[in-house]
Chain A
Amino acid sequence: MGHYIPSTREEQQAMLSAIGAESPAAFFADVPESVLLKEPLNLPSGKSELEVRREVEGMSRLNKVFGTVLRGAGAYQHYIPSIVKYITSKEEFVTAYTPYQAEMSQGILQSIFEYQTMICELTGMDASNASMYDGASAAAEAVAMCRDRKRSVALVSATTHPDVVATIRTYCYGAGFEMRMVPEKDGRTDMEALAEAVTSDVCCFYVQQPNFYGNFEDCTALGEVVHNGGAKYIMGCNPMALALMKTPAACGADIAVGEGQPLGMPLAYGGPYLGFMAATSAMTRKLPGRIVGETKDADGNRAYVLTLQAREQHIRREKASSNVCSNQALCALTAAVYMSTMGPEGVKQAAGQSMSKAHYFADLLAAVPGVTVQNQGAWFHEFVTTLPVPAEKVLDALAEKDILGGLPVKDGVLWCVTEVVSKAQLDKAAAIIREVCAACN
Chain B
Amino acid sequence: MATLENLKYTKSHEWVLENADGTVTVGLTDYAQQELGDLVFVNLPAAGDDVTAGEPLGDVESVKAVSDVFCPVSGVVAEVNEELLDAPQLINEQPYEAWLIKVESVSGSEELLSAAEYEAFIAQGE
Contact = CB atoms under 8 A, between A and B. Distances in A.
Q: Do A and B form a real pair?
A: yes
Instruction: Tell me what chain B mostly uses at the interface: helix, strand, loop, or mixed.
Output: strand
10 contacts: A285-B41, A309-B63, A310-B41, A310-B61, A310-B64, A315-B64, A315-B65, A315-B66, A316-B66, A319-B66
B73 to A, nearest CB: 21
A308 to B, nearest CB: 8
B91 to A, nearest CB: 15
A308 B66 CA distance: 11
A315 B67 CA distance: 10
Interface of B: 40-41, 61-66
Contacts of B63: 309-310
A309 B64 contact: yes
A305 to B, nearest CB: 9
Contacts of B64: 309-310, 315
Contacts of A309: 63-64
Interface string A228-240: 0000000000000
Contacts of B62: 310
The 4 closest A-B pairs by CB, nearest first: A310-B61, A310-B66, A315-B66, A316-B66
A285 B44 CA distance: 13
Interface string A315-341: 110010000000000000000000000
A319 B58 CA distance: 12
Nearest to A315: B66
Interface string A281-316: 000010000000000000000000000111000011
B123 to A, nearest CB: 30
A316 B40 CA distance: 15
Most chain B beta-carbon neighbours within 10 Å: one of A285, A310, A315, A316: A310
A223 B41 CA distance: 30
A316 B66 CA distance: 7
Contacts of A310: 40-41, 61-66
Contacts of A308: 41
A310 B61 CA distance: 6
Interface in A395-416: none
Contacts of A316: 66
